[in-house]
Structure 1
Amino acid sequence: MALPAISSEMSDEELDRIAAKAQEASNLLKALSHEGRLMILCHLVSGEKSVTELERLLSARQAAVSQQLARLRLEGLVTPRREGKTIYYSLTDDRPKRILELIYELFCAGED
């Protein structure tokens, strides 16, 4: 897929729409730019995990994991589900998985 060029011939409405989408993409990339958040998303690609499971998988304290999950919730990348006292998280949609597949391809695939 080719990226469309931004031109001076675009209407103000089109340019405003593109600017809003650029802000949305920037927020997503900022959320992904933290190693801990990126690792959380990598673990969630395989399915729903509890906060306790994520703590163990990341070898991180609950406070740190919860802080990163809060940011991912804010950006709409993960969805919580409560079952009793346990909170489980899953990916909200396919966007993080698609981005992580590309990151894996660019940075990890040749190392296997």
Structure 2
Amino acid sequence: MSHSTTSPNVVPLPDAAISMLRASASQACAVLKAMAHEDRLLLLCQLTQGERNVGELEALVGLHQPSLSQQLGVLRDEGLVATRREGKYIYYRLASFEVIQIMQTLSELYCGKVMKKMAGR
């Protein structure tokens, strides 16, 4: 049975897209679950600006080393960030196109409102 009622401004997904999402729903849920923590989301926001080392992230996000390491570990374990070592420093970066796309969408939805408010002052 098909329902013809949709929310305003929502483009319905084709059946093929819904089938593809169904096949990868657990992967999508794991990514979203890892992002669903304020500190981790703020870390990802900083990484949209480019690669950062732990000291830079600590200063930018305001997390102390133990909490920072724990949150970065979750992001790394879920494949949202990748690392490289240079001397005594470990650098973090966004790990996939999907994560970059999600962060860009979040920025458009939430940061765009802030920027518009600031421009209106």
Q: Please tell me the TM-score bracket, short chain as reference.
A: 0.7 to 0.9
Cα drift, residue 39 of structure 1 = 0.7
Cα drift, residue 85 of structure 1 = 1.4
Do residues 27 (structure 1) and 30 (structure 2) align?
Answer: yes
Task: Tell me the alpha carbon deviations over residues 23-46 of structure 1, each in whole angstroms, 9 at most, x when there is no partner.
Answer: 000000001100111111111111
How many residues were matched structurally? 104
- Provide the residue aligned with 2:8 in structure 1: none
In terms of Rg, which structure is larger? 2
Cα drift, residue 102 of structure 1 = 1.2
Letter in 2 for 1:4: P
TM-score, length basis structure 2: 0.76
Q: Which runs of 5+ in 2 are unaligned?
A: 1-10, 116-121
Do residues 44 (structure 1) and 40 (structure 2) align?
Answer: no
Do residues 5 (structure 1) and 15 (structure 2) align?
Answer: yes
Q: Aligned Cα RMSD in Å?
A: 2.2
Percent of matched pairs sharing the same residue: 45
Which of 57, 66, 71 does residue 68 from structure 1 map onto? 71
TM-score, length basis structure 1: 0.81
**Greater shift in the superposed pair: 24-33 or 88-97:** 88-97
Rate the CA distance shift 1:18–1:102 in 2: closer, same or farther, 3 A: closer
Task: Tell me the alpha carbon deviations over residues 49-82 of structure 1, each in whole angstroms, 9 at most, x when there is no partner.
Answer: 0011000001110111111111111111111111
Do residues 78 (structure 1) and 88 (structure 2) align?
Answer: no
Structure 2 counterpart SS, 1:89: strand
